[in-house]
Amino acid sequence: MKQFLLIFLGGGFGSFLRYIISKSLNVYYPNFYLGTFLVNILGCFIIGILIGISVKNNFLSESHMLLLATGFCGGFTTFSTFALESHILLKEHSIFYMSAYLALSILIGILAVAAGLYVCKLL
């Protein structure tokens, strides 16, 4: 039961924070969905750091990982919204913006995970 509560709390806080960031930033670049993009990239970086800390120092317990990686990062990042926004751009015939959004989200997301892992190696 404790595991479910940790995931629930982390996911709730992550979802709330994602909503605030996305709502405030998506209005500036409606053809790119900057808020969702930044949330997903930041979430990739955070999970890279969490995994890096866990592997390097064995610092985070299973409970910490459930709260932070599964809960918070799972609630904070959003693949479904990313897919929906990509579909909207395609439907609006914004092929350039959709392609940029897809490519940059995937490429920079992977690089952000790697950067988070790399930062942990330096510590």
Backbone angles phi, psi at 32, to 5 degrees: -130, -20
| Strands in the chain per DSSP E | none
77 annotated ligand binder? yes
* 96 burial via Cβ count (<10 Å: 0-12, 13-18, 19+): exposed
> Is residue 55 helix, strand or coil?
helix
Separation between Cα atoms, residue 91 and residue 41, nearest integer Å:
24
Return binding residues.
Answer: 74, 77
Return binding residues for Na(+).
Answer: 74, 77
